[in-house]
Amino acid sequence: MEKRGVIDTWIDKHRSIYTAATRHAFVVSIRDGSVDLSSFRTWLGQDYLFVRGFVPFVASVLIRAGKESGESSDMEVVLGGMASLNDEIEWFKREASKWDVDFSTVVPQKANQEYTRFLEALMSSDVKYSVIMTAFWAIEAVYQESFAHCLEDGNKTPVELTGACHRWGNDGFKQYCSSVKNIAGRCLENASGEALAEAEDVFVRVIEHEVAFWEMSRGG
């Protein structure tokens, strides 16, 4: 059993909003087969735009990992995530043709714009490494937990959506998220009180943005 760290205490402390993100009605509707496919198409277009904005954020995490971490393995973990984003963008393009979504006409909605602006602010050199790693973990973890839920026993996930669920719900992505969590946890072990407070605030804000993104996808 892995040692419980500060991130686990935050998940417990903010359990209601964490669950709102990882068991959102949009996710549950995929799992139980009741999803409105127009909502899925909305999510597809908006998430494609988000991922294109996420790439520079991960690049900034990669640079920080190379310069500041003191652990060479940090850079390798982030580099693995960076490499998978190339596959992810290609996957989105294939899905777009399958679902007849023209990405060139998709306009970022308010929740998407606000989330992207939040990521841009985190790319400032003033943001502590422990804080940016906490954000990075939280962003990845919400998708991992959400889509893994859609693959659990008893799911009625529509067959045409299982590809999306496997992309983030697979065991390899779970291991990767665990590695990112371990990096963030290690950084937080030695963090100042101020840095811990900043990291907890960023954790909560990521979760709030994730909830808003799901809401937007449902047409909320």
Report how far residue 44's alpha carbon sits from residue 164's, in angstroms, rounded to the nearest whole number.
10
Contact 17, 211 (CB under 8 A): yes
DSSP 125: T
CA 16 from centroid of its chain's CA atoms: 18
Phi first, then psi, for residue 109 (nearest 5°) are -80, 170
What per-residue string of b and e applies to 176-201 under the rule 16 or more CB within 10 Å gives b? bbebbbbbbbbbbeebeeebbebbbe
Q: Which of 71, 76, 210, 215 is catalytic?
A: 210
Contact 96, 103 (CB under 8 A): yes
Active-site residue flag, 215? no
Q: Is 27 exposed, middle or buried (0-12, 13-18, 19+ CB in 10 A)?
A: buried
Report how far residue 196's alpha carbon sits from residue 177's, in angstroms, rounded to the nearest whole number.
20
User: Which residues are catalytically annotated?
Assistant: 210
